[in-house]
């Protein structure tokens, strides 16, 4: 499948189970997230994700979340996810995940994942990983990603992980305030920052950051579009039409449901293709303009 044939690029897809049957988090956290999304636990492997997205003529950015240091649960292998995704370059774009608390070893891992394993960006979850993105202890990692030319995707706002559990299992929402990313975007202007999800309760802040910083995008994952805050819909239709990206949060929310509900939004006809694919092509540096042929979603060898 050629890039030109894709109807959409989903920039937010979780890998929750590896080929050995290991899960990315413990059952309590995963089940709480499924309950929050009013669904049943479903943990497809990378090949199963590829099959699903191929059937939809979509590409998907796939990643796990490195939460071992915070939760004690062994994280899935970034290398295995990248290797498995490389077997489906027509539809899968691998991201890695590094807990910033890993320090220098995490920086070395990030470099190897990009240079040796073809990883195209990194996912961070400040609330689960319990860190403030603008903490200068983590600046060497952001500098490394900036030098590697790969984007950093940060969870923002409310999270279904730990939702409804006593104390939310210790997960603190304040780490996912998008204003913390304003500092990162300002101090690393060459780093593409993607703020994941409608950032409730900080939606206005996220819109301001994305409008003010040329290197910042918003992905629309984790919410059915029919529940989007109205100010986000207005911004996506106007001043942020080149800065918002389709994302589902699969497997918690399927791309089919997201697209169906998105069709009901009053989005301008010329803006829809920007959100569904064209903005992601630019943000992820895909296609001929970035030294790639259109033969693969995330690779020039498909």
Query: Which tens digit of pLDDT belongs to each residue from 253-299?
Result: 999 999 999 999 999 999 999 999 999 999 999 976 554 433 445 43
Query: Which tens digit of pLDDT belongs to each residue from 159-173?
Result: 988 888 899 999 999
Best mean pLDDT range from 27-36, 70-79, 142-151, 285-294: 142-151
Query: Which tens digit of pLDDT belongs to each residue from 248-266?
Result: 999 999 999 999 999 999 9
Determine the pLDDT at residue 290.
54
Helix (H, G, I), strand (E, B) or coil at 157: coil
Helix (H, G, I), strand (E, B) or coil at 109: helix
Backbone φ/ψ region at 283: left (φ over 0), alpha (ψ -120 to 50), beta: alpha
Size of the chain, expressed as the number of residues it contains: 302
User: Which whole number is the average pLDDT over 85-90?
Assistant: 97
Determine the pLDDT at residue 298.
46
pTM of this structure: 0.92
Distances (CA, A) of 212 to 194, 217, 228, 239, 240: 14, 11, 21, 10, 10
Residues 6+ apart with CB under 8 A from 298: 59, 85, 89, 92, 93, 94, 120, 284, 286
Determine the pLDDT at residue 35.
75
For residue 134, pLDDT beyond 80? yes
Ordered domains of the chain (ranges, CATH): 3-290 (3.20.20.140)
> Which of 113, 129, 44 lies closest to 80 in space, CA to CA?
113
- The span from the CA of 102 to the CA of 80, in Å, is 19
Query: Which tens digit of pLDDT belongs to each residue from 176-200?
Result: 999 999 999 999 999 999 999 999 9
């Amino acid at each position: 499948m050629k890039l030109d044939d894709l109807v959409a690029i989903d920039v937010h897809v979780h890998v929750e189970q590896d080929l050995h049957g290991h899960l990315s988090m413990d059952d309590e956290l995963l089940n709480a997230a499924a309950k929050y999304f009013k669904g049943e636990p479903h943990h497809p492997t990378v090949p199963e994700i590829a099959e699903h997205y191929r059937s939809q003529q979509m590409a998907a950015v796939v990643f796990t979340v490195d939460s071992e240091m915070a939760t004690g649960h062994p994280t899935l292998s970034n290398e295995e996810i990248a290797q498995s995704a490389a077997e489906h370059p027509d539809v899968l774009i691998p991201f890695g995940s590094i807990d910033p608390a890993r320090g220098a070893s995490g920086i070395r891992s990030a470099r190897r994942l990009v240079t040796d394993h073809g990883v195209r960006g990194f996912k961070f979850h400040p609330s689960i990983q319990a860190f403030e993105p603008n903490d200068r202890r983590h600046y060497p990692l952001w500098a490394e990603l900036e030098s590697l030319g790969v984007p950093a995707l940060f969870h923002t706002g409310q999270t279904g992980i730990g939702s409804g559990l006593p104390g939310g299992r210790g997960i603190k929402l304040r780490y996912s305030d998008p204003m913390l990313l304003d500092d990162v975007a300002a101090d690393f202007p060459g780093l593409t920052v993607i703020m994941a999800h409608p950032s409730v309760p900080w939606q206005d802040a996220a819109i301001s950051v994305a409008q003010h910083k040329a290197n910042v995008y918003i992905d629309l994952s984790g919410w059915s579009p029919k529940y989007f805050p109205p100010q986000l819909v207005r911004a996506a239709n106007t001043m942020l039409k080149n800065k918002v990206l389709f994302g589902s949060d699969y497997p918690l929310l399927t791309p089919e449901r997201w697209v169906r509900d998105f069709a009901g939004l009053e989005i301008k006809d010329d803006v829809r293709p920007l959100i569904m694919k064209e903005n992601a092509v630019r943000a992820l540096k895909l296609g001929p303009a970035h030294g790639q042929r259109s033969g693969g979603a995330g690779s020039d060898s498909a």
